[in-house]
Structure 1
Amino acid sequence: MDASTPHCIDTTAPALLICEHCDTVHRRHPLARGEVAECARCGAVLERCRGMPAKTMLALVLTALVVFVQATLWPIVTLGLNGQYVDATLWDMIHMMWVDHSQVVAVLAAGTLFVFPLGKILILGWLLMYARNGRRAPGFRQLMVALHHLGPWTMSEVFVLGALVSIVKAHLYFDVLPDPGIYAYGALMLLITVFAGIDLTRLWDETRDEHAEELP
């Protein structure tokens, strides 16, 4: 490997890697920018080399929070019929589903489009506020586990695709105008996709547990 190639080198990281899927132990080697270390036994991803420091990730999280608030508060679509126009926000849609006896769908929509994405953004922000200084946030272990379980339940991209299909179909019967909320959700979808490509498990190696160091 060329000496001029940027590496992911962390002198504080353990020398060994353990695959979380098959428990195979590997010796850690420096990775070039963009490289991925895979398990020799099952092929699972062990770690990635990402050139994005914690401060940059924190800036992205704050951006995602601002976009999320806009997507939630701004109208998503406006429907018009015979000169009358009605717009609707995310919570207007959820309320209509609840009133229309679709409570299960309403709860799922509220969870996957509001509760889980907001939880993921807030947890990431909390962890990265400390990680930018090389420290572990209070509740680090529990929150990292929570992030792992929250990932599959953040479905903003499914909502955006479904909304676009609905807008196209509704255009046959109504005057349909996409509102700023749908564009905000599109931007949020891109940001969440960026987060999905970042290996957050590296925070275990890049941060230190100050309380553990104080123990004799």
Structure 2
Amino acid sequence: MNTIICRHCDLVSERPVLTKGYVAKCARCQHTLYKAKAANAKKILALALTALLLAPPAFSFSLVSVHLLGVTEQTNLLQGALLLIDFAPIVAFVVIFCAVVAPVLLAACMCFSSACIVLNKRPRLLSPVLKMTSLLIHWSMLEVYIVSFMVALFKLNSYADLYYDNGLFFLVALLILNMSMICEYSNAYYWDFFTNE
């Protein structure tokens, strides 16, 4: 029997077969259980591969140059997070995990699972990768870092001269790819592929 558990009220119910565009809701609390959408694995694979290619320059190239009192300083995402280790190690760990590790792992997991669908392969590793993907979707918070970074830039703008560097454009492109992958991804579709031999 194919069952599904509501994440809000833990009601176990039989999983209905839905046609594309319909939504399954919990009988008890009316929260959405899953949406019936056929994910385009080739599109997600292309997005994930591109995200993996953009990640190294996005994290290593300079984001912004700050010119203050005749001194110009450049920094990238990793340097900024590593500077926090002495003052706030927990914040530094969260920034590194949510803005660097989780987005890269998410792109790698989606790349692997999409390649499995495109090549019609079901390796044993696919099940843990799908579980990890479900977790990483909630921890990949590149957009939160970008918003906080932009707030810091607006505050610095009145004190110093700011020059945007290439790393910022790579980071914004990576953010757009990350959000596009998450929007296109369908957890139910990928699990259906894994369970239906």
Q: TM class by shorter-chain length?
A: 0.7 to 0.9
Contact 1:127 1:136 in 2 (8 A): no
Question: How far off its partner does 1:71 sit?
Answer: 0.9
Amino acid at match of 1:95: L
**Aligned equivalent of 2:114:** 128
Amino acid at match of 1:91: L
Matched, 1:148 2:134: yes
Question: How far off its partner does 1:39 sit?
Answer: 3.1
**Aligned equivalent of 1:18:** 4
Report matched runs for 1:40-79 at 5 Å.
40-50=27-37, 52-79=39-66
Contact 2:26 2:32 in 1 (8 A): yes
SS state of the match for residue 84, structure 2? helix
Residue 180 (structure 2) aligned to one of 194, 206, 211: 194
CA deviation digits over 1:23-59, x for unaligned, max 9?
A: 1224313224xx4333343333333343542111100
Q: Which moved more, 1:17-26 or 1:111-120?
A: 17-26
Matched, 1:106 2:95: no
Matched, 1:29 2:30: no
Q: Say if 1:178 and 1:195 are closer, same or farther in 2 by CA, change over 3 A.
A: same
Q: Which has the higher helix share?
A: 2
Pair member with larger Rg: 1
SS state of the match for residue 79, structure 1? strand
Amino acid at match of 1:135: K
Contact 2:66 2:163 in 1 (8 A): yes
Q: In the aligned structure 2, how far is the partner of 1:45 from the partner of 1:134?
A: 29
Q: What TM-score does the superposition give when structure 1 sets the normalisation length?
A: 0.78
Q: In the aligned structure 1, how far is the partner of 2:3 from the partner of 2:151?
A: 44
Q: Say if 1:155 and 1:40 are closer, same or farther in 2 by CA, change over 3 A.
A: same
CA deviation digits over 1:128-162, x for unaligned, max 9?
A: 11111232233222222222222221110000000
What root-mean-square deviation, in Å, do the aligned CA atoms of Structure 1 and Structure 2 show? 2.3
Q: Which structure's relative contact order is higher, taking Cα pairs within 8 Å and 6+ residues apart? A: 2
Aligned length: 193
Q: In the aligned structure 2, how far is the partner of 1:43 from the partner of 1:204?
A: 23
Q: In the aligned structure 2, how far is the partner of 1:110 from the partner of 1:162?
A: 14
CA deviation digits over 1:118-137, x for unaligned, max 9?
A: 11111111111111123223
Q: Say if 1:194 and 1:44 are closer, same or farther in 2 by CA, change over 3 A.
A: farther
Contact 1:67 1:184 in 2 (8 A): yes
**Aligned equivalent of 2:80:** 93
Structure 1: any 5+ residue segments left out of the alignment?
1-13, 211-216
SS state of the match for residue 174, structure 2? helix
CA deviation digits over 1:80-134, x for unaligned, max 9?
A: 0133311111121122222x43222222211111111111111111111111123
